[in-house]
Amino acid sequence: MEYIDKTILREEGEAIIKSFLNQVKEQDPYPQDLYDVFKSDRGGQSQKDLIEILLEEQNNHCCYCMRRLTVNNKITLEHLILRSITQQEEFNKYIKEERHTVLNDNVCLTEVNKVYQAEPPYPHVVAYQNLVASCDGKIITGAPAISCCNLRRGFEYIEPIVLYATIKNEVVYAFNGEVRWKEDKEYEKEEQLTMNILGLNDSILRMVRHIWSYINRCGLVKGDIDRDRGKLYGMLDEVSNEDFDLLLSFQSNDTYWNLLVDYDYFSTITYHSDN
Ligand SMILES: [Zn+2]
């Protein structure tokens, strides 16, 4: 996982939101469905322009699973502070003094700030600082199931981890592809762990990272495996019986192989022997 620095393209990002809010300012207070109005603004162009900026600042990766995103992929907008929130008390959970982020100074609860203002804080349902680009959660393209990231999270609370400057070192990937956030408490149930709320320990995603970790540990590069996918048989003693068929899918099925390539971010990271 990578820290998303919202200061570099701030001017460009805020300009889109500012111009949108400026257009709706005659409606005082703001329309109830402010985010929906934003999505359809200028025939969807405002949203497209914003996504382009988000992709640039995220180096074309999904904010959570690190899949490679292109403007043609199904991209969804993730609200770090859930857009469903209407109560200040709920909003405040995202604004921590000990974890100061761009949200603290630039974003406010939409419900309490319903009239136009030219400067931040902007209403959280459309604030540039509160929006990041996510994949659509369909790991195998075209599959009906949503397995990870923004849409998998739904309306669950998680901390705005991608805005934490040290997140890269706090999220740990094991040799077997499992991922864990160091700050999650050990007593928490599996389904309460941040990485699990995001679906990042889904078996296919885990296998993708396991394969990349194996390639790294063997001193191979993708080209070696491209020429001879049979090299992945070397992983067999690391793979459980349940995962055996899944590994075979990566060897024999181009859809899975292309997925591995979409996640080449994981060819560059450090893995840990245990989790
Ligand atoms: Zn994703």
Convert the pLDDT of each residue in 134-144 to its tens digit: 999 999 877 77
CA of 239 to the centre of ligand 1 (A): 24
Is residue 252 pLDDT above 80, yes or no? yes
Is residue 227 pLDDT above 90, yes or no? no
CA of 4 to the centre of ligand 1 (A): 14
The predicted model gives 21-27 an average pLDDT of 85
Apex 158 CA angle, 45 and 151, nearest 5: 45
What are the structural domain ranges in the chain? Answer: 10-135, 166-275
CA of 266 to the centre of ligand 1 (A): 13
Sort strands 107-108 and 122-123 into parallel, antiparallel or unpaired: parallel
pLDDT of residue 224: 87
For the stretch 40-55, pLDDT in tens is 999 999 999 999 999 9
CA of 116 to the centre of ligand 1 (A): 33
Cβ atoms of 153 and 192 within 8 Å: the answer is no
pTM tops 0.85: yes
Cβ atoms of 49 and 13 within 8 Å: the answer is no
- Residues whose beta carbons lie less than 5 angstroms from ion ligand 1: 62, 64-65, 135, 149
CA of 10 to the centre of ligand 1 (A): 23
CA of 77 to the centre of ligand 1 (A): 11
